[in-house]
Structure 1
Amino acid sequence: MSPLGTSDDGAVPDDRAAPEDVVAHLDERLGVLARRSHTSTARLAARIHPDLDASAYPLVLHIAQTPGVRPSEVADHFSIGRGTASRQITRLVELGLVHRATDPDDCRGQVLSLTDAGRASLRAARERRRAWFHEVLGDWDEDDLQTFARLIDRFVESVDRP
């Protein structure tokens, strides 16, 4: 019997687990998921560029999603110091993944975007990751996938709530 009150065959008995047992189980499983996610992110970063540090992968994603972003906005978005952001951005530029340009609205500032190589590498890495998701979730039915997606969205919204 799992902490969720299901038997090994997935059947749910009438005497479901106490809510605190379910929360403890979720805490443990989310910890496992977070550790595996970190490993997966490191692999994904290496697919983008062999010298890309896993900690810089979210910066690449953010720059891809918000082309023209300023380095200070990157620092603010990730709640990191501007010096740390600057060092990571410099490394992304050195790897040929990010391009820095003068801000057309303020010649004292810079804006960031992915290079063609950065976009192509990110696209290939994401396609490979999505293929992996299709493989992992391949035997899930559509209702289960929709429920899972809805519950993850709800969880993220709860976490993001002030």
Structure 2
Amino acid sequence: MPETSPPDGLVSQDVAVVDENFLQLERELGLLLRRAQASSTALSRRVHPDLEPSAYVLLGHIVATPGVRASDLATFIGVGRGTISRQLSRLSALGLISRRPDPEDFRGQLLDLTEEGHKRFESAQQARRAYLHSALASWSTEDVDALAAQLARLNDDLAEVRRAEEPTD
């Protein structure tokens, strides 16, 4: 029976152990994602009782990139124009964002949070930070830094794989 080679970067490990490691990683990531989704729902409700959890991410990106174009926001989130337009209309109706014409493209709009949007979003962010501080209270600073670094690496690698899988024009 021929030997199966371990994936690149994993040397001299039994393939069954490697597979089990990846299965465990998938389980832990799945649990983390479910908890993050539940947290996102709770945080969105802190911002506004009628805010959809998916819109919370939009607010976060608008805070991080004030004056972002609606089209760039759609690209970042990975949705089409119709979807982003509906979500932004809802955020505007809730009084959380403002829109202004893009001076470089008369068809475009630049987005910012309103004063009320900033206030509500910051309140939710403070609650999220308090939750993380509580959850990681027993962790050393080094452990928190190491986790942040590994998550950044994972996010970068996942983004790279996604880019490589996208069809080219």
- TM-score, normalization: structure 2? 0.81
Equivalenced residues, count: 146
Identity %: 41
Structure 1 residue ranges, 4+ long, deviating more than 4 angstroms after superposition: none
- Report the CA distance between 1:46 and its aligned residue: 0.6
Match of 2:104 in 1: 105
RMSD: 1.4
CA distance in 2, matches of 1:22, 1:94: 47
CA distance in 2, matches of 1:67, 1:148: 28
Match of 1:127 in 2: 126
Q: Does 1:28 align with 2:27?
A: yes
Match of 1:136 in 2: 135
- Report the CA distance between 1:152 and its aligned residue: 1.4
| 3-state SS of paired residue (1:80) | coil
Letter of the structure 1 residue corresponding to residue 102 of structure 2: D
Alpha-carbon displacement from aligned partner over 1:86-117 (angstroms, at most 9, x marks no partner): 01000000000000112233334321110011
Alpha-carbon displacement from aligned partner over 1:112-146 (angstroms, at most 9, x marks no partner): 11001111111111011001101000011222222
- Counterpart mapping for 1:40-119 below 5 A: 40-119=39-118
**Which 10-residue stretch deviates more, 132-141 or 151-160?**
151-160
| 3-state SS of paired residue (1:18) | helix
Letter of the structure 2 residue corresponding to residue 34 of structure 1: L
Letter of the structure 2 residue corresponding to residue 26 of structure 1: L
Q: Does 1:19 align with 2:15?
A: no
| 3-state SS of paired residue (2:68) | coil
